[in-house]
Structure 1
Amino acid sequence: MKETNPDTMSFAGASLSRHRHICAFFNGSEDAFQVLGPFIRDGFLCDHRAIHLVGADKCEAHITRLRCEGIDTEASQISGQLEIRNTVDTYLKDGLFDQDRMVEEFSALASGNMNGNFPLSRIVCDMDWAAKNREHLRDLIEFESRINDLWNQHDDVVICVYDLTKFGGDTIMDILRTHPAVVISGVLRENPFYIPPVQFLTELRERRFGKGEQWAAAE
């Protein structure tokens, strides 16, 4: 086992700070894995747990890419070090996105709540599922802000992967505002657009209330 200090982990050309809830913007899965692959491989060398939330249509290709990185996917899944979940099954139980349920789901995945076999979790989330439903997307943006309160309590790394070809500019801006760190052009940076949850959620609710007034006036 390779011993590591959680304060010295690197990703996308930079050292990770205490802020480890990251939005990563790419153009397609291949572009994403060029940056994610080395980080995922390093996690296995460090005996960290790998939790990957992947779209059903991408699962086979994702496993192939892991194997190309030298990862024994079958043995890792048997040992519990690798867990691959379907994004729709995870985020949309019975077709609904329930923010409170997802907070509980991620809390259970955090390293502090595991059985002690793995010191940290490296969680990679494919967010393509959210692009298909505007209602889900609205709730997701609120959730992405709320979940910072959980991840600030753990050293786990959580990477939310957004395909720039699937999300509009307004959505990308809101996603930026809900993540303290960002990967753009393959490089990790502290995010100057990040707004803490208390402030962002207040602004978000005011924005929605304002739109509601406008809609009511138009009827």
Structure 2
Amino acid sequence: MTLAGAPLHSGDHLCVFYRGREERDRVLLPFLMEGLRSGHAVLVLGRVGERTTLRTTLGDWSHLEIVEPENGHLRDGRYAPAELLLMLDEWADRNLQANGSPPSAPSSFGRIAADMSWAQALMSPVLVDQLVGEEVEVTQWLCRYPQVALCLYDLELFGGDLIIPMVRAHPKVWMAGTLIENPYYLKT
């Protein structure tokens, strides 16, 4: 399993920085297609209005789920991390077997990609703190199932007030075509 040729492993949680949708798609779409062709359960937390576009681009796979912000990170326009984590649990329960459990779920591996562009409209110091907390919880949650997760941040939308905390909140960082074991990761 790879991200643009860089090897990934179960439990990996990457902060992926990109510039603009075109660069995002160059990195993201092959990662998603590799998973779909391998029979992995794939969850995309996409941008507003891209559910149909992604479904058309990726195809109609039974193990592909695409969720827009209002049913992922947001509820009624507000950031809802508890509801997001519940949704992730429900998705994993439907699609994956827990580590150490006998095979019962349809997929042996999961891939999650979350485009975080929705956060731009809600940016505040409080939101940044909440996002850091969510990312820490997601890193811990990822170890419960055989899966990887990418959190995608557009450098054209976000500045250092979000980028620096997100670097610290992820064990691995992807930037400018390079995957880095993050020396700045703040382990909890």
Common fold: TM-score over 0.5: yes
**Aligned match of 1:119:** 108
> Which SS does the other structure have where 1:56 is aligned?
coil
> Which SS does the other structure have where 2:78 is aligned?
coil
> Which SS does the other structure have where 1:147 is aligned?
helix
1:128–1:166: 8 Å Cα contact kept in structure 2?
yes
Structure 1 pair 65–27 and aligned structure 2 pair: CA distance change class (3 A): farther
Identity percentage of aligned residues? 31
- Residue 10 of structure 1, CA deviation: 1.8
Structure 1 pair 50–17 and aligned structure 2 pair: CA distance change class (3 A): closer
**Aligned match of 2:155:** 164
5+ residue gaps, structure 2: none
Amino acid at match of 1:188: L
Q: Over residues 121-176 of structure 1, what are the superposed CA-to-partner deviations in whole Å (9 max), with x where a residue is unaligned?
A: 11111100111112434312221122211112222111111000111113101001
1:36 equivalent in alignment to 2:35: no
**Aligned match of 2:132:** 141
Structure 1 pair 23–145 and aligned structure 2 pair: CA distance change class (3 A): same
Structure 1 pair 115–165 and aligned structure 2 pair: CA distance change class (3 A): farther
1:20, 1:64 → 2: CA distance?
28
5+ residue gaps, structure 1: 1-8, 67-71, 199-219
Q: Over residues 44-77 of structure 1, what are the superposed CA-to-partner deviations in whole Å (9 max), with x where a residue is unaligned?
A: 12100111111223334433432xxxxx32xx1x
Equivalences for 1:68-217 in 2 at 5 Å?
A: 72-73=59-60, 76=61, 79=62, 81-110=63-92, 111-112=96-97, 116-133=105-122, 134=124, 135-196=126-187, 198=188
TM-score by length of 2: 0.85
1:88, 1:136 → 2: CA distance?
16
> Which SS does the other structure have where 2:49 is aligned?
helix
> Which SS does the other structure have where 2:55 is aligned?
helix
Between Structure 1 and Structure 2, the one with more helix by share is 1
Larger radius of gyration: 1
Alpha-carbon RMSD across the aligned residues, in angstroms, is: 2.0
1:49, 1:19 → 2: CA distance?
15
1:47 equivalent in alignment to 2:32: no
Amino acid at match of 2:86: E
The number of equivalent residue pairs is: 179
1:62, 1:18 → 2: CA distance?
24
Segments of 4+ moved more than 4 angstroms: none
Amino acid at match of 1:171: L
2:73–2:83: 8 Å Cα contact kept in structure 1?
no
Between Structure 1 and Structure 2, the one with more strand by share is 2
- Residue 37 of structure 1, CA deviation: 1.8
